[in-house]
Amino acid sequence: MRDRCPFCNDGGVIESIKASERMFGLEGTFVYQRCANCGSLYLDDPTLNLAPFYPDTYYSYAGVTRPKLAGFFEDLNARVKAKTFVSFLRHSGVSVDASTRFIDVGSGSGDLLRALRRLGLRHVMGIDPYLRADADTKRIPVIRRSIEDVAKGDNRPQSDVVMFHHSLEHVVDPEGSLRAAARLLAPGGAILVRIPIVSYAWERFGVNWVGLDAPRHLAIPTQRGFERLAARLGLRIAACRYDSTSTQFVASEAIERGLTLTNAFPSNPPRTAMRAVLSIPKSLHAKRLNAQRRGDQAAFALVRSTDVA
């Protein structure tokens, strides 16, 4: 059991929340605590064995076995994300060119890494402790290790960008992972974190919020909680962009109706495209929430304001 919030390090708790696994419909009840100081959420038992909750059908591992049509749409989506991330980093004052070294923490099968390679970035690698084994997909190394292990020793690799694309919420110790990422940064480098945010969607849907994703999401911050964590590590938030989508409504409403995500959203790109068209009003709502910094996910660019041991 945790005795302190992993973000603001406060020991107070507003409430305990019981949640269930809603992606595959796996068994179990999982207790989350809500921090009394910053409002962040965190799983009460961080020692839980999570391996069974990352089956081979988990979306970020299915890249090598998916149908060609689904693969085309997923690759296109990854390219859009990669361009968005590069643009965001440049807007944050981080230089990105063909020589930029990228490490993607929680890379899964490497879709984003392949998209970054297509943009001309030559030096990319992935880290993921939940992989079944090391891989080398299209000459891009993806290793089965935690970032803490990679950051140990004097021979650790240096990186210009360490990216947590919806992966920091999956680690037991966000502080330890960010500290390890800072140890890998070259001078002038940045840590890119894209993460769910406890805000309007949590207030609206509670345990049915898709961003809770029990029990895989071990710790989910409010913006205040994330700011406290960054400051404690001597990291400065160079930029913050809220980028939530209509998914916070469409998927959460499906869960609210008692569906699992795999039943509500089968891998069918034409249906997915049609669903996106029909949810234009929800997309506009998401855009308004983002402008108010109340969306359910955000991207942060962190730079080192002081040396982090």
| Superfamily of 13-304 according to CATH | Vaccinia Virus protein VP39 (3.40.50.150)
Residue 143 identity: I
For the ranges 45-54, 82-91, 170-179, 267-276, the maximum mean pLDDT occurs at 170-179
Average pLDDT, the chain: 87
Strand partners, 141: 136
* First-to-last C-alpha distance (Å) of the chain: 27
66 pLDDT higher than 80: no
Cα–Cα dist 158/42, whole Å: 31
Identity of residue 14:
I
pLDDT of residue 272: 53
Distance CA 15, CA 178 (A): 27
Tens digit of pLDDT for each residue in 182-210? Answer: 999 999 999 999 999 999 999 999 999 99
The mean pLDDT of 12-36, rounded to a whole number, is 96
Q: What is the pTM of this model?
A: 0.89
Q: How far is it, in rounded angstroms, from Cα 158 to Cα 101?
A: 8
Domain ranges of the chain: 13-304
Angle between helices 269-278 and 68-91 (to 10 degrees): 50
Express as a percent the part of the chain with pLDDT over 70: 88
- Residue 259's pLDDT band, with cuts at 50, 70 and 90, is very high
Burial of 96-135, coded b for 16+ CB within 10 Å and e otherwise, reads beeebbbbbbbbbbbbbbbbbbeeebeebbbbbbbbeeeb
Query: What's the rounded Cα separation, in Å, for the pair 63 and 70?
Result: 9
* 68 closest CA partner among 263, 269, 236, 287: 269
Please list, in sequence order, all residues whose beta carbon lies within 8 angstroms of the beta carbon of residue 120, skipping any fewer than 6 positions away: 97, 98
Query: Is 91's pLDDT higher than 90?
Result: no
How far is Cα 165 from Cα 169, in angstroms, rounded to an integer?
10
Structure-token match 């509670």, residue found = 206
Average pLDDT over residues 126-144: 80
pLDDT at 69: 39
Q: The sheet that has 13-19: what strands, in order across it?
A: 13-19, 30-35, 41-43, 219-220
- pLDDT reported for residue 277: 54
Q: Which residues, listed in sequence order, are joined to residue 42 by a DSSP beta bridge?
A: 33, 219
**Total Cβ atoms within 10 A of residue 56:** 8
Between residues 85 and 134, which one has the greater pLDDT?
Answer: 85
